[in-house]
Amino acid sequence: MSLFKQLFIAICMLMLVNFTGSFLVSVESSREQQVNQLRAHAQDAATALGLSLSPHVNDTAMIELMVSSIFDSGYFESIRVTDPATGELLVERSGVPVSGEAPQWFAQLVDLEAAQGDAIVSDGWRQAAQVQVISHPLFAVSKLWQSTLGNLLWLTLSGVLCIALGVLLLKRQLRPLDYMVDQSNAIARREFLSLPELPKTPEFRRVVNAMNQMVGKLKALFAEEAARSEMLRAEAYQDSLTGLANRRYFDLQLHARLNVEEQACSGYLLLLRVNDLSGLNQRFGGQRTDQLLVSIAEQLQLISQGRFVLARNRGGEFALLAPGLARSDAQQLAEQLEQSLHSLQQTGASDCLPVAHIGLTSFAPGAAEDELYRALDAALALAASQAQPSWAFNELVEQSLAVDEGQSWYNLLDQVLEQGRIQLFFQPVVAADEPARVLHHKVLARVIDEQGGVIPAGRFLPWVERFGWAARLDRVMLGLVLTQLQSHSAAVALSLSGSTLRESQALAALYAQLQQHRHLGPRLTLELDEDQLPDQAVLESLTQRLRSLGFGLGLQHFGGRFSMIGNLAKLGLGYLKVDGSYIRDIDQENDKRLFIEAMQRAANSIDLPLIAERVETEGEWQVLRAMGINGVQGRLFGEPGPWR
């Protein structure tokens, strides 16, 4: 029972005891008063009647008339006139009043007895008669009933008013306790809340102050771990001058596009090389040369708009990875970049801009990375050998005609989404320290073509994005997963695209689907890609709505934007899945291990489970298990496949 309820019951019991005591004392006091009034009433009536009968002591008719007059004018049980010498009854009137206001049960409860009064009728010095008057208690009971009702009403109103005021005061005084409960729940959801105004009650002030200090310590600890992890990530995977990714990170992403089934797809590689960088350093100085490289990086980011992977390989060499890009789009990209470089000279942003060349080559799943870089070098040599343009293609992998390929994919995917011709594959996500225990199954999509073949996600997802059908695919996938969950009890995780979150109609349809299947909430977790996260306000609204519907939210492919974990801490996420590029060869590369250890410490400080993706070797698993990673996912623990 809560403290508020206990105090409320205590107040009610105290008021009840006080009310009962006051009521009983009041009733007893009124009863005693009515008894005294009955006695006085009887005695006064007897005295008055005795005095009135003295002149008419020998007139029996007058005595009867006067006795009847007195009896009819008051509440009397009987009036008797007797001879004091012989005890002979001279006159008597008796009876019960017609009715009373008090109920019978109340009269029996108060038990008022009749009061008697006596007087002597004198004839000179002789006692001629004796008058005996007995008052009936009906009148007193009625007065006592009215008085009791008044006291009851007053005590009830005052008791209710006191309880109401006590409850309001109690709520106000206990409000810091409610906030401390919110603080505790927020910490469980990886949020850090502090009470800005300390309560005036000294005891609560000390407790709230201690809670605020604890929350501040946790927040500082988490921020410190997050900053350390971000620093390690920047040192390992970011170019310090331009802020772009370095060659190492670029190679990890390229490897995933060529070899990881879920991310493998075709596209284009672009390599931009600034000629004679050492000569620029000698002629213009290192500072201006560095400014030139920063300006080129800014132009690349402006053209890319977050769609492609950008990196500064070394010196004046920049690389761009564009998965899912057609040849015509790649050519347009090269032209835009060429124009941007010329605009730097025209605007005076970089008056020391030398000759720069751009090489492009296509890639496809299974291609060798060394061959791709040799093809890019050949394309750069070709671009340098020609006057205009300053870019050139060297096709290592033959691409289909863009129009024909796009049209065929359009027709295929339109039919697939219309007919729901998608096969669900599942890959287990297991506990790192106990691989036999499955945490959940990751849902993967496979498209079934006209011949009944299965197409992996890496091949068709770029086309789905290009056609603007990502939200449509999410809706179909969610429907299939909800249907699948009806027939088995396992927990699953399903990815959502950023398009669903950006389109209000798609998001409303998502909520409607989940609302109809709220009973499946504990077994379905929705996942978002790190690079497709919406604004913080939209993300908070999404997590709150999903939590109200009973569904969880997690992040996958996490690690490139670790600095944002401070904002993610308050969302109450189910888990973070670390991108497999940071896991590959972690048993052989110590800096990767340091980065994941720092990430693990930061996640542990807010009780956020960490899951490693694409764990492929025994060595990687052993390192992750020693770190205390919560879960692992990869071919080492199970190949993706249909549900069995």
Q: Tens digits of per-residue pLDDT, 323-368?
A: 878 788 888 999 888 888 877 765 544 555 556 889 999 888 888 8
Mean pLDDT over residues 237-241, rounded?
Answer: 86
328 in any annotated domain: yes
Examine the fold and report which residue of 380, 399, 418 is the final residue of a domain before the chain moves on: 399
CA distance 552 to 555: 11
In the predicted model, what is the mean pLDDT of the chain?
A: 82
Cβ atoms 598, 232 nearer than 8 A = yes
Together in a domain, 410 and 393: no
Together in a domain, 156 and 255: no
Structure tokens at 504: 């209000």
Given a cut of 80, whether residue 564 has pLDDT beyond it is no
Work out the pLDDT band at 162, boundaries 50, 70, 90: confident
207 in any annotated domain: no
Give the Cβ contact number of residue 198 at 10 Å.
14
Together in a domain, 463 and 547: yes
CA distance 121 to 57: 7
Share of the chain above pLDDT 70, in %: 90
Which range of 34-48, 381-395, 617-631 scores highest in mean pLDDT? It is 617-631
Which DSSP symbol is given to 400? P
417 in any annotated domain: yes
CA distance 420 to 480: 8
pLDDT digits (tens, 9 = 90+) for 475-506: 999 999 999 998 888 899 999 988 888 888 99
Give the Cβ contact number of residue 291 at 10 Å.
16
436 in any annotated domain: yes
Can you tell me which residue has the tokens 């020693």? 626
Examine the fold and report which residue of 399, 425, 444 is the final residue of a domain before the chain moves on: 399
Examine the fold and report which residue of 114, 131, 161 is the final residue of a domain before the chain moves on: 161
CA dihedral 273, 277, 279, 284 (to 10 degrees): 120
CA distance 581 to 262: 13
28 in any annotated domain: yes
CA distance 144 to 138: 10
The domain that contains 626 carries what CATH number? 3.20.20.450
Domain of 412, in residue numbers: 403-633
Can you tell me which residue has the tokens 């320290």? 433
Can you tell me which residue has the tokens 């490289």? 293
166 in any annotated domain: no
576 in any annotated domain: yes
Give the chain's domain count.
3
Pairing of strands 245-246, 89-94: unpaired
**CA-atom Rg of the chain in angstroms:** 47
Structure tokens at 605: 């400080």
Burial status of residue 191 (CB atoms within 10 A of its CB: 0-12, 13-18, 19 or more): middle
The domain that contains 253 carries what CATH number? 3.30.70.270
Work out the pLDDT band at 271, boundaries 50, 70, 90: very high
Given a cut of 90, whether residue 231 has pLDDT beyond it is no
Together in a domain, 516 and 487: yes
Together in a domain, 553 and 572: yes
Instruction: For Cα atoms 552, 557, 562, give the angle at the middle one, nearest 5 degrees.
Output: 95
Cβ atoms 269, 319 nearer than 8 A = yes
Nearest to 623 by CA among 584, 577, 581: 584
Together in a domain, 118 and 151: yes
Q: Where are the beta strands (DSSP E) in 419-523?
A: 422-431, 434-448, 454-455, 492-496
Given a cut of 80, whether residue 514 has pLDDT beyond it is yes
Top pLDDT among 513 and 261 is at 513
Q: Which of 108-117, 373-382, 420-429, 634-643 has the lowest mean pLDDT?
A: 108-117
Together in a domain, 447 and 460: yes
Q: For the residues of 126-194, what is the DSSP string, one character each?
A: EEEEEEEEEE-THHHHHHHHHHHHHHHHHHHHHHHHHHHHHHHHHHHHHHHHHHHHHHHHHHHTT----
Together in a domain, 67 and 53: yes
Top pLDDT among 96 and 267 is at 267
Q: Name the β-bridge partners of 593.
A: none
CA distance 357 to 419: 47
Top pLDDT among 466 and 613 is at 613
Together in a domain, 120 and 248: no
Given a cut of 90, whether residue 90 has pLDDT beyond it is no
Together in a domain, 369 and 494: no
Angle of the 277-284 helix axis to the 286-304 helix axis, nearest 10 = 130
Nearest to 448 by CA among 413, 477, 476: 413
The domain that contains 124 carries what CATH number? 3.30.110.200
Residue 488 has what pLDDT? 85
Tell me the HSE value of 565 on the side-chain side, using a 13 A CA sphere: 33
Using the Cα atoms of residue 593, residue 599, residue 600 and residue 602 in order, give the sign of their dihedral: positive
Residue 349 has what pLDDT? 45
Structure tokens at 458: 């890496």
Mean pLDDT over residues 453-457, rounded?
Answer: 82
Work out the pLDDT band at 79, boundaries 50, 70, 90: confident
User: Within the chain, what is the greatest distance between any pair of CA atoms?
Assistant: 162
Using the Cα atoms of residue 511, residue 518, residue 555 and residue 438 in order, give the sign of their dihedral: negative
3-state secondary structure string across 563-577: HHHHHHHHHCCCCEE
Together in a domain, 434 and 482: yes
pLDDT digits (tens, 9 = 90+) for 15-41: 788 778 877 787 777 777 777 777 787
Cβ atoms 76, 145 nearer than 8 A = no
Together in a domain, 528 and 462: yes
Residue 494 has what pLDDT? 94
